[in-house]
Amino acid sequence: VYVCKAQDSQLRWTVRKNITLTVLDRGYVYLWPSGETNISSLVNHTVELKVEVDAHPFPTLAWSRTNQTISMESSSIKTSLLMSHR
């Protein structure tokens, strides 16, 4: 815990604020769907699936279906970095 102290020039007012710093030694990953989790589609129609990820350090992402990694030849996978830090 760090403490910041501010005092006016006439020494009448003093304000202190605590800042708690947590050091992450192993990182973390949070993943959640962006939208519906159950989707129906007609055969041969395109479906867009989205997930949001919050992680440190930057994660490696992979999609799979029935325990098989989805190949880039049969799909289009796009990853967008929305924010690089908090």
- Confidence band of 15 (pLDDT split at 50, 70, 90): very high
| pLDDT on residue 42 | 92
Q: Average pLDDT over the chain, rounded to whole?
A: 82
CA–CA–CA angle 45, 59, 41 (5° rounding)? 15
| pLDDT on residue 36 | 82
Question: The whole model's pTM is what?
Answer: 0.51
Give per-residue pLDDT as tens, 39-54. 889 998 888 888 888 8
